[in-house]
Amino acid sequence: MNEKTTRHPKADTSSIITNFIHLRNPWVTAWWSFAFPGFGHILLCSYVRGFLLVIWEIFININSKLNLAIIYSFTGQFDLAKEALNTKWLLLYVPVYIFAVWDSYHLTVEYNKFSVLADRDESQIVTAKISAWDINFLEKRNPWIAAAWSFLMPGLGQIYDQRLPTGFFMFIWWTTITYFSNILEVIHLTFIGDFSQAIASANPQWLLFMPSIFGFAIYDAYVHAVENNKLFELEQSRFLKENYQDPDFKMPV
């Protein structure tokens, strides 16, 4: 393999994941980090950094009682919000939170530059990988199906996109948050009309994690499927050009 194919790689394929870079809006990744630290990095396919930031966010948030304080503040119970908030943990929360937003924005800008260089270099794209664990190959996937699976259960859309580590990571955390928030019990009590008991059963500290994770799982699965299809078309066009196109063919202007 020559230097041209390795200096600016476009994608890397393993049996459990296809990881690649593409152009992104820095403000979108920064917004997702603002909504939930770690999500911006997962969107960038910087998975280790993203997973660690998600775990940190949940751990610090639970110990600082931040979500509980937010609920009390939204309902005008400011004294209860002050009483619930643990400032010892909260002071650890702020610098890493700001870093997550800044770093996701900064990485997006740099990844965009690298993506342009990778496209110009026409770096090699591996289309299939077979191992004892799994089989992964580049194919077109329906973005709406990916979004639909994430709508039914966050993490399933990522598994459909052949991003198994991300899918199972989100799947496990969604299950954990669902259990501790008592959301299924709340839904059951709501359906039978016992609204007061439903409110009493909800755990707001865990419940407030759900909108961000739910929304991100749908968005991430959809966007990754779209970009995966673009990668498939890029590899296919290069293959056809190198193997079937007449060298004297003049591209239309």
More confident residue, 67 or 213: 213
Q: Find which of 113-122, 169-178, 242-251 is predicted with most confidence, using mean pLDDT.
A: 169-178
Residue 147 pLDDT class (50, 70, 90 cuts): very high
Q: Name beta bridge partners: 128.
A: 137
* Tens digit of each residue's pLDDT (9 = 90 or more) over 77-106: 878 888 888 888 888 888 899 999 999 999
With beta carbons less than 8 A apart as the criterion, state whether 68 and 84 touch.
yes
pLDDT band with cut points at 50, 70 and 90 for residue 134: confident
Q: Is the per-residue pLDDT at 250 higher than 80?
A: no
The CA-to-CA distance between both ends of the chain, in Å, stands at 33
pTM above 0.85, yes or no: yes
How many angstroms separate the CA atoms of 50 and 226, rounded? 21
pLDDT at 1: 41
What is the tens place of the pLDDT at every residue in 59-70? 998 988 888 888
| 120 or 175, which is more confident | 175
Structural contact between residues 146 and 160, judged by C-beta atoms closer than 8 angstroms: yes
Q: What band does 198 get if pLDDT is binned at 50, 70 and 90? A: confident
